[in-house]
Amino acid sequence: MEQKKLDVVLGLQWGDEGKGKVVDVLTPSYKIVARFQGGPNAGHSLVFDGDSFVLHTVPSGIFRDGTQNVIGNGVVIDPVVLMEEIGAIEKMVGPITEKLVISKRAHLILPTHRMLDAASEAAKGKSKIGSTLKGIGPTYMDKTGRNGLRVGDILSGEFQERYDALKKKHFGLLAQYDFKYDITEYEKQWMAAVEELKRFAFIDSEVFVNEALQQGTPILAEGAQGSLLDIDFGTYPFVTSSNTLTAGVCTGLGIAPSRVGNVYGIFKAYCTRVGSGPFPTELFDEDGDKLREIGHEYGATTGRPRRTGWLDMVALKYAVMMNGVTDLIMMKSDVLDGFDTIKVAVAYEEKGKTLTSFPYDGGANVTPVYKEFPGWKTPLSGLRRYEDFPEAFKEYMRFIERETGCRIKIVSVGPDRGATVVRY
Ligand code: GDP
Ligand code: IMO
Ligand code: MG
């Protein structure tokens, strides 16, 4: 039997690569957009018609007509955040009840999960992960610990009972921390949001996605976070709690590995990271500040300033390998327009040794070895054809293609939907 395949969009760095924009740009070629992991820790920005919008749990295909959006089983959902988001979307485009379906198997973030996240981070002190404090870690812990509550449970007669039992368990855990909290108000909102959520179809999304695939429906899987935040292969323990790599598409949507088609790996023309953890090419100088200011590098979910640095080819090649990337998508090239010199890390040095593959500890103690490129000193944001790009920029792109062995399919030159150059 011929195996019809779906395509994947995911981030190759530490998140915030521009996945929201790319999914929105690609959606007209797809009939279904499905999120496969993460939760409200994500912030995916879309800019079109002079408006901008940040999505957290809802897939980034929601603003395009004729697209069905799926929240897959691998996603964790905070009903309050989700209903607020839905409210804001509906204010803009009208009801989306028909356009969004939710997996019965997706796990719920309880108010106490958020408290546990906050208590755990506070207790870690200096070694904190820099979590978004949305309850992600504790919810995935309850999933693998086989304690979790799922969307499908909302419709069972025992939902309140099971909620109370899990809450009680969490109160026991919270008692071990020196942490004050009060969930009364949030819990009220949470229960109300759970009720509101019932107007959406809770489905067996694995069956929905597989049947649609077999009928030849084009499907795009949307990742959250980035490859270097993957629970297994990221810069552990400074990671998120899900598999952000292509492998996560299989478990997060319930599709077989043989069903994965094109893997579009997104990266910024430089690097950013928000939260703690190793970042070999991080800049602490004027160049770093310039990247942050020109690139508006402030978190879409938390507003925190993002750490900034040069492109890291060691880390990028690792991410390309782990994801089986078929095509690259390069974002925010325009942010580098004004730089005289642009640097790229091509290796690391540690204790007199040269490393060319991404190390176990995420490069916590390495010094990057840089290759320098002359800047193009030309505004890219108005350009819409590859042929019009300045030669110095084309050289930067060719270098990345040679090093990774992947072609750059799309170049983004501004936040707007339209500021996009599709090469093939
Ligand atoms: P995501 O989490 O991967 O969806 O990325 P975010 O939305 O968190 O962060 C990307 C930011 O860069 C957003 O503010 C986007 O509007 C913006 N952006 C996306 N592509 C480009 C681009 O090519 N150039 C510039 N200057 N900004 C961009
Ligand atoms: P999008 O989808 C950037 C980071 C947090 C923290 C670590 C763990 O917008 O790219 P968590 O809340 O998951 O327990 O936080 O991961 N992080 C992100 N960084 N973009 C994201 O999502 C992120 N989601 C989580 O800052 O360092
Ligand atoms: Mg983001």
Q: Which residues of 115-139 are buried (b: 16+ CB within 10 A; e: fewer)?
A: bbbbbbbeeeeeeebbbbbbbbbbb
Give 209-259 pLDDT, tens digit per residue: 999 999 999 999 999 999 999 999 999 999 999 999 999 999 999 999 999
Report which residue type is found at 131.
S
CA of 275 to the centre of ligand 2 (A): 7
CB of 282 within 8 A of CB of 362? Answer: no
Q: In Å, how far from its chain's centre is CA 306?
A: 15
Find out whether the beta carbon of 132 lies less than 6 Å from any atom of ligand 2: yes
The fraction of the chain above a pLDDT of 70, given in percent, is 100
Average pLDDT, the chain: 97
Length of the chain equals 424
Q: 167 and 112 in contact (C-beta within 8 Å)? A: yes
Who's near 145: CB < 8 A, 6+ residues apart? none
Measured in Å, residue 86 CA sits from the centre of ligand 3 at 18
Say if ligand 2 is within 6 A of residue 307 CB: no
**Residue having the nearest C-alpha atom to atom 6 of ligand 2:** 131
Q: Which helix (H) or strand (E) holds 174?
A: helix 159-174
Instruction: State which ligand 2 atom lies nearest to the alpha carbon of 137.
Output: 14
Alpha-carbon distance 267 to 312, whole Å?
A: 10
| Separation of CA 95 from chain center | 25
**Atom 3, ligand 2: which residue's CA is nearest?**
15
Centre of ligand 3 to C-alpha 168, Å, is 33
What residues are labeled active site?
Answer: 16, 44
Q: Which atom of ligand 2 is nearest to the CA of 274?
A: 26
Say if CB 418 and CB 375 are below 8 A apart: no
pLDDT in tens, 333-392: 999 999 999 999 999 999 999 999 999 999 999 999 999 999 999 999 999 999 999 999
CA nearest to 323, candidates 5, 75, 69, 13: 13
Q: CA geometry: angle at 224 spanning 173 and 398, to 5°? A: 140
Q: Give the pLDDT band of residue 324 (cuts 50, 70, 90).
A: very high
Q: Which residues, chain by chain, have CB under 5 Å from ion ligand 3?
A: 16, 43, 300
pLDDT digits (tens, 9 = 90+) for 104-122: 999 999 999 999 999 999 9
Q: What is the pLDDT of residues 299-316, one digit of tens each?
A: 888 888 999 999 999 999
- Whether this prediction's pTM lies above 0.95 is answered by yes
* 2 pLDDT more than 90: no
Closest CA to 42 of 6, 76, 83: 76
Quote the distance between the C-alpha of residue 253 and its chain's center: 16
Q: How confident is the model at residue 57 (pLDDT cuts 50, 70, 90)?
A: very high
**Is beta strand 201-203 parallel, antiparallel or unpaired with respect to 307-309?**
unpaired
Strands 6-11 and 100-103 turn out to be unpaired
Would strands 407-412 and 420-422 be described as parallel, antiparallel, or unpaired? antiparallel
